[in-house]
Chains A and B, each alone.
Chain A
Amino acid sequence: MGTATGIIKALNSGVKHLAVKRFTLRYPEQKLKFVGDGYQFDPSSGVAIAGLKGRHMLFHDHCTGCQLCSIACEGVAEAIGMVKVPDKWGQNAKSIMPQIDYGKCVFCGLCVDACPFYALYMSNDYELSSFTKEGLIYTPAQLQVKPQVQQDSELIIDKRGARHG
């Protein structure tokens, strides 16, 4: 192949992309949809359920204050600390619950694997930015809130290429 043919072929390959639709996603307006409701773990079978590893969800009525999540995090990021909560349930005699520092968390999900009481899951919420370091520390009350996420954009592949819609 001659030099001129090669250069023309290379240019042509780029020019073809004028007709291809935009692949990227317009982020704050469009948000990518994920599989399921986030990463969850089923202690009875010992296998997790696929989902996005985002911000945690804490179920207060299941948490016994056993500190297993905190112990699991000790060797990884030391992001989980146990704090006193005012309410007292029968199953949580010490009334302590995990508080998670997202400045340290690496979103590996090993704390979810450690919980034997279906109390700690991960959710689809990934927008955790804050103006202060303290704002990244989520108390048990904040972790209880189910995130309101509008995620509707999906990857579409057809003859004209891949795009988000």
Chain B
Amino acid sequence: MTEVIPTKQMPPGLQVDKVDDRIMTLNVGPQHPGSGHMRIIVKIDGDYIVDADPDPGYVHRGEEKMAEARNYITNIPHLERPVIHDSCNILYPYVLGVEDLVGIEVPERAKYVRVIAAELNRCIYIQYWLAIYGIFLGHSTMFMWPAGDRELLIDLMEKITGARVTHAYFIPGGVRNDVPANFEDVCLRQVNYFEQRIKEYADIFYDNPILKARTEDTGVLSREDAIRLGTTGSVLRASGVDYDVRVKEPYDVYDELDVHTNVLKSGDSYARSKVPWLDMLESCNIIRQALEKMPKSGSIRTKLKPNPKGGLGEVYRRVESGRGAAGCYIISKEKPEPYRLKLSVGSFRNLIALPYLLKGEKLGNMPAVYWSLNYWPVEADR
């Protein structure tokens, strides 16, 4: 290096630090070369990463601020935008919170319909995530199969809600419409076939020695670090912590269903990629239980004014989304609009672990570690 550019006004990725010539700074992203719309600034020494700095914020839309100008009903299509293919789960804490603020009861049947829709949505999200994980590792079959099998559940969600993604289905007081006639049979048939299909992934992906060689012992997150860094969802469960909001703080009818959590001990990329797959198999069980226990008829929505006013107070509710605990904090001051609204999402909390995991890894292992964190860029930016 002949001259040193002053680093004061430069954005972090463009800084030219006066360091040893061995260290090279590399920008991964933000033009979506397998990072999502975010940038990871990695410093490499030869083939080994010595420092990684994730730089999210390229798809920030200000959903939380926008929510302060819209009433409790018109917020619904907006708040599901951060994760369009997991839209029921990201909307769930908001809807539960508004129900507390407005003070309405949800009919029993609506609670079961909500659980079924949320579990179907979790599978749709995880299939999409798994497809991208497959193509990150150069396994194009694992891109095609989940992307195709995901259609089965998208077809089901389309039958219930009328939209393939961005369903806008949950509403304070229940759900917007009842499930179509003979839905139970169609759902059971399609979920059973779906389960049979995802069990086939074991041979080609999870028991495949090539995948194991690639992902085992990369990016190991110990149990203590996972708790200390505040990770959540599948990342936490892959590190040996048995934590699932559906079990620990059951909402709606999860306390009446038998929910089994999947915990793996090793905490490496392989465990983090396997836990969501086990979660999908568990979701199929939950859907079957819910279909069996669901009241066969009854109300599905408590009537609510088109412009409801929340009471005076604040509420924080959380649910287990496809990426971990998703929370929603609302302050209401007796107006039709929320005074403040904040989302606490799993993606952002898992991203914090990335610099710790990448240190000392080879650059080629970066995609395997990064996407195993179950991270969705748009949700982290909100």
Contacts and interface: CB of A to CB of B under 8 A. Distances in A.
Interface in A73-112: 74-77, 106-110
A49 interface: yes
A110 B159 contact: no
A134 B288 CA distance: 47
B168 interface: yes
A110 B301 contact: no
A110 B307 CA distance: 12
Contacts of A157: 189-190, 193
Given A75-B71, A113-B176, A51 B162 contact: yes
Contact of A108 (B69, B76, B306): B76
A117 interface: no
Interface string B178-207: 111000000001100100000010011101
A10 B300 CA distance: 46
A50 B168 contact: no
Given A24-B148, A155-B155, A50 B177 contact: yes
Interface residues of B, number: 43
A122 B162 contact: yes
Interface in A27-50: 32, 34-36, 38-39, 46-50
Contacts of A12: 203
B303 interface: yes
Interface string A103-132: 000111110011000000010000000000
A148 interface: no
Interface stretch (A1-9, A55-63, A135-143): A1-9
Contacts of A122: 162
Contact of B177 (A49, A74, A110): A49
B158 A9 contact: no
B74 A74 contact: yes
A13 B200 contact: yes
A162 B177 contact: no
Contacts of A76: 74, 77-78
Contacts of A32: 155
Contacts of A24: 148
A20 to B, nearest CB: 10
A3 B204 contact: no
Nearest to A35: B180
Given A72-B306, A114-B306, A109 B203 contact: no
B70 interface: yes
Interface string B272-309: 00000000000000000000000000011101001000
A30 B302 CA distance: 40
Give the 3 A-B CB pairs with smallest separation, nearest first: A75-B74, A48-B177, A53-B162
Given A52-B163, A53-B163, A110-B76, 6 more contacts: A6-B207, A10-B205, A34-B159, A36-B180, A107-B166, A114-B306
